[in-house]
């Protein structure tokens, strides 16, 4: 069964960094765009960043300059590195797969992980 599993969330202080991981199974995902979304309480799910099959990356405006997405080809894992974390970064972070070269809208992603909680607080 094709699936994605997020890990690496936790409690961090403002200004610190965190790396999330998205491990995916299923050979088809190697040709998919892997994206990251987040959802805070009372807010809509928000696009964070993504990496396509050519390892091109793009990011949402709220995290530009603070986020990096990378791919470990051997381990079939995508990482989201976030720096200079702010309290407003607190959310459940999801990874997802889309069969599109560029995908920033939730409806374009057809496979989702269960999410990992990131809390930024003093």
Least confident of 25-29, 39-43, 75-79, 101-105: 25-29
The HSE-up count of residue 107 (CA atoms within 13 Å, CB side) is 0
pLDDT at 27 > cutoff 90 = no
- Element holding 74 (H helix, E strand): none
Would you mind telling me the total number of residues written for the chain in this entry?
122
Q: What's the average model confidence in pLDDT over 95-122?
A: 96
Q: Which tokens belong to 37?
A: 């979304």
Q: In what order do the strands lie in the sheet with 3-7?
A: 3-7, 18-25, 77-82, 67-72
Q: Does the pLDDT of residue 1 top 80, yes or no?
A: no
């Amino acid at each position: 069964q094709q699936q994605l599993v997020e890990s690496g969330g936790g409690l961090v202080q403002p200004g610190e960094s965190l790396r999330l991981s998205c491990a995916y199974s299923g050979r088809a995902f190697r040709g998919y765009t892997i994206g990251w979304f987040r959802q805070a309480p009372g807010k809509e799910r928000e696009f964070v960043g993504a990496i396509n099959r050519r390892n091109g990356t793009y990011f949402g405006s709220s995290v530009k300059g603070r986020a990096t997405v990378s791919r470990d080809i051997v381990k079939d894992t995508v990482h989201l590195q976030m720096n200079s974390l702010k309290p407003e970064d607190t959310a459940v972070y999801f990874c997802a797969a889309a069969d599109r070269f560029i995908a920033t809208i939730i409806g374009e992603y057809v496979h989702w992980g269960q999410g990992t909680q990131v809390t930024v607080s003093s």
